[in-house]
Amino acid sequence: MLWSGPERHGCISELRLLTNSNDQRGTGRHEFVDIFIPGSSQCPLLELKNASLNELWRGQNGKEFASDTESDPEKLRNSLREESVDALLKRGVAYSQRKGTDWEWVETTINDLKQEASDQVGCYINTVQKTQANRADEGACDPRVLCDPGTCEVIGYVAICVGGTRVLAWKVMAGNAKCEFTRVSNCKM
pLDDT tens for 21-32 read 665 565 567 889
Which of 11-15, 68-72, 171-175 is most confident? 171-175
- What is the value of pTM for the model shown? 0.85
* Backbone conformation region of residue 128, classed left if phi is above 0, alpha if psi is from -120 to 50, else beta: alpha
- pLDDT score recorded for residue 186: 62
CA atoms of 154 and 172, how far apart (whole Å) = 11
CA atoms of 35 and 11, how far apart (whole Å) = 7
Host H or E run for residue 9: none
Residues 6+ away with beta carbon under 8 Å from 157: 44, 45, 46, 47, 121, 169, 170, 171, 172
